[in-house]
Chain A
Amino acid sequence: QVQLQESGPGLVKPSETLTLTCTVSGASITDSYWSWFRQPPGKGLEWIGYTYYHGSTNKNPSLKSRVSISLDRSNNQVSLKMNSVTAADTAIYYCARQIRRYFDWWGQGALVTVSS
């Protein structure tokens, strides 16, 4: 069974950088694509981007300029950084394993609130 666990600060100040880590167990991050999503409170899901160990990365154009996604093979982790955050970035952030074009395992989510 694959398990994913998001971690990071629950509160980020406006204009600062949001950083989240997704720790994967039960699978190697080198074997699959890994995606990040977010869900504002009471709203639907939005795809942020995906990355693959062997080089392929793509991001939602609406967030592309502010987002980076990276892999840490030694710790089997996937990281998300989003800069210049505003209140509109307040959401639950999820990481998920991507198989072809669907997402079979999800983390439990991490709530990030942007507020001063």
Chain B
Amino acid sequence: QPVLTQPPSASGTPGQTVTISCSGSGSNIGGNTVDWYQQVPGMAPKLLMYTNSQRPSGVPDRFSGSKSGTSASLAISGLQSEDEADYYCAAWDDSLHGPVFGGGTKLTVL
């Protein structure tokens, strides 16, 4: 059972804005930063956002992240067909002394 909670699915039409939520607890999101990974089916995960809201080089500014308390969210604006993928949130857990993940959100672009 994933430690962080994400909605299993999300959808939107091209051009729309979609937000994916991620909920945790004080031992993970509450006390640490949140990262997001994008996984296209059949491919490896790719770092999409780190330290709550930092984008790695090459990630479009259509992607943005935020964190408040024990929750975080990833927003994708100007939705494009290539954004169709699974999105995972992750955070360090102070009890585990390692990262924990959400169950993933499958994003469909209608």
Show the binding face of A for B, using Cβ within 8 Å. 44-47, 49-50, 58-61, 94, 96, 101-109
Name 17 interchain pairs, CB-CB below 8 A, sorted by A.
Answer: A44-B102, A45-B45, A45-B104, A47-B100, A58-B98, A94-B44, A94-B45, A101-B32, A101-B92, A102-B35, A102-B47, A102-B50, A103-B47, A103-B99, A104-B47, A104-B50, A109-B44
Please name all residues of chain A whose beta carbon is closer than 8 Å to the beta carbon of B88 when the two chains form the complex. 44-45
Chain B's nearest CB lies how many Å from the CB of A79? Answer: 19
> Does B101 sit within 8 A of A, measured CB to CB?
yes
Interface size on B, residues (CB 8 A): 25
Chain A's nearest CB lies how many Å from the CB of B57? Answer: 10
> Does B30 sit within 8 A of A, measured CB to CB?
no
In the complex, the 3 A-B pairs of residues with the closest C-beta atoms, listed nearest first: A102-B35, A106-B44, A102-B50
* Known pairs A104-B47, A106-B45, A106-B46; A44 contacts B96 (CB<8 A): no
Q: How far is the CA of A46 from the CA of B104 in the complex (A)?
A: 12
Judging by beta carbons under 8 Å apart, are A60 and B103 in contact?
Answer: no
> Does B51 sit within 8 A of A, measured CB to CB?
yes
The proximity string for B residues 32-63 relative to A, scoring 1 for CB distances below 8 Å and 0 otherwise, is 11010100000111110011000010000000
